[in-house]
Structure 1
Amino acid sequence: MADGLVISSTDPIRSFLVAASGDRDHLSDELRILAASLSVLSSVPYKSLRSIWCALPVSSRPSLRVLLDGSDFVFTSPKPRVKSEELKARLQKLAELVEQREYTELVKDVVPKKDDTEPFSSYKDQIGFGLHVVLVMFTGYLVGYATFRALFNHNPIMNAAGGILGLVGGMLLETVLFIIRASTKDMVKNNATSSASRLKIKKHQ
């Protein structure tokens, strides 16, 4: 079907086209062939019909108003747009992002905020932990020194040994506390991950 305005074919239009297809005196072969092909159609392009009508003399053609009487416009539905593969991929990605956002919103009260920072990841943490260890070891040394001094009657060697023993004890205590804190943090993280996984499975069921 030609582009542009299309009208429905009526009996006056078909009669006009049939007559025009046999008019060798006023129409070219091209227009007569066009008129013959349009005469069998249920709708015709207005531009083609008008070109045939204009080529005929006034005495051999009906008025345009009479010719178009009873004819209606014919509208064709546009072809559905075909989504490209790139567009499909983008839509799929957007759908996944929306689903992930909905899932995050669903489990925000169950899963704690993700903490990707490693222990002592900053200089401030390292310095703070170092000072804390030094303080604990120094305190252990003083406690050990004072204890052995009271037990061994001011013996310098035993006092120093007690201080060293207290220092080592403080260091061991700090190590044990660090291991406990790290293990507790991992346990909480694993429990939260397990809870989130169960919620996600229930959501997709």
Structure 2
Amino acid sequence: MALVEVTPTVREALTSAASLSYREAEDFAQEDWVPWPTLLQALRTIRKAKRGDAHEDGEGAHDDEDVHDDEGEGGPWLQDVCRDAKLCYPSPEPKPGRNPELVKRLEKIRADLEERKYADMVKDIEPTSTQEKGGYEYMSSYRDQLGLGLNTVAVMGSLFAFGYYVSLKVTGGEGEGEVVPLCCGLVGAFAGLLLETFLFMLRSDTRERTAGRSRGKPVVGPATKVKLKEQ
């Protein structure tokens, strides 16, 4: 609702209307602003009193035809009263903030929609169903573990044989017989196990770092954890 600045002319009109039993005009006569409908009704009250028309009461604030009519006698008229006055439109009330729980639900729904869109985009590349995807990941993990186990056994066997035969060549099979070569072979196998364990930690750390970089998140791998503990 628009407000009209209370200039001396507007205040005079409101005071005149208040003297004619229009109490609402009296409330705004000493204010700086008056509502537009109140001013319109005040002018109608004054003109009705001047014309002596007792049947014009209750026309309503939205009937502006008689307010802007310059023909005939009577007055005061709106264009004369508001000549130097300013109009003011109050700012709308701020909207209430959203419920935090509702915001969280909307974010969750938005994240689910994005995941569905991504799944639709890559459905021709990756396994579509959860069962197929789980089986694919299981087979991949199974092959990795099998390959790691075979590689570890091969390295340990190779180093065991290397230590055993080197010890035989050095000692010539004398003394304790096969005890020393056997111990050297076991030491070589244990060294191979340690070597494969260290290489496995490096590969896992590199793989997790690569996956974390693709997701944009830092990942701490096994080798990194060991280094942090040592520090």
Instruction: Normalising by structure 2, report the TM-score.
Output: 0.46
1:174 to 192, 197, 208: 192
Q: Which amino acid in 2 is paired with 1:169?
A: V
Name the SS of the counterpart of 1:7 in structure 2: strand
1:50 to 29, 34, 40: 40
User: 8 Å contact 2:2–2:90 — kept in the other structure?
Assistant: no
**Greater CA drift, 72-81 or 166-175:** 72-81
How far, CA to CA, are the matches of 2:228 and 2:160 in structure 1? 38
Say if 1:174 and 1:140 are closer, same or farther in 2 by CA, change over 3 A. closer
Match of 1:39 in 2: 29
How far, CA to CA, are the matches of 2:181 and 2:160 in structure 1? 4
Instruction: Normalising by structure 1, report the TM-score.
Output: 0.51
CA-based RMSD: 4.3
Say if 1:33 and 1:146 are closer, same or farther in 2 by CA, change over 3 A. closer
Deviations along 1:154-178, one digit per CA (max 9) or x if unpaired, are: xxxx67x787556523321123325
How far, CA to CA, are the matches of 1:140 and 1:49 in structure 2? 105
Q: Which amino acid in 2 is paired with 1:34?
A: E
User: 8 Å contact 1:141–1:163 — kept in the other structure?
Assistant: no
Deviations along 1:129-155, one digit per CA (max 9) or x if unpaired, are: 3212221233245442586499359xx
Q: Which runs of 5+ in 1 are unaligned?
A: 24-28, 91-121, 195-205
Q: For residues 58-97 of structure 1, what are the structure 2 equivalents within 5 Å?
A: 59=51, 60-76=74-90, 86=100
Name the SS of the counterpart of 1:44 in structure 2: strand
Name the SS of the counterpart of 2:87 in structure 1: coil
How far, CA to CA, are the matches of 2:77 and 2:17 in structure 1? 14
User: 8 Å contact 1:8–1:43 — kept in the other structure?
Assistant: yes
Deviations along 1:116-135, one digit per CA (max 9) or x if unpaired, are: xxxxxx43443233212221
User: Taking CA–CA contacts closer than 8 Å with sequence separation of 6 or more, which of the two structures ends up with the larger relative contact order?
Assistant: 1
Q: Which runs of 5+ in 2 are unaligned?
A: 52-73, 105-140, 203-221
Say if 1:81 and 1:73 are closer, same or farther in 2 by CA, change over 3 A. same
How far, CA to CA, are the matches of 1:171 and 1:49 in structure 2? 103
Match of 1:123 in 2: 142
Q: Which amino acid in 2 is paired with 1:185?
A: A
- Return the offset for 1:84: 7.2
User: 8 Å contact 2:152–2:196 — kept in the other structure?
Assistant: no
Name the SS of the counterpart of 1:21 in structure 2: helix
How far, CA to CA, are the matches of 1:142 and 1:22 in structure 2? 121
Match of 2:69 in 1: none
Name the SS of the counterpart of 1:18 in structure 2: helix
Identity of aligned residues (%): 19
- Return the offset for 1:179: 6.0
Match of 1:17 in 2: 14
Match of 2:127 in 1: none
Aligned length, in residue pairs: 146
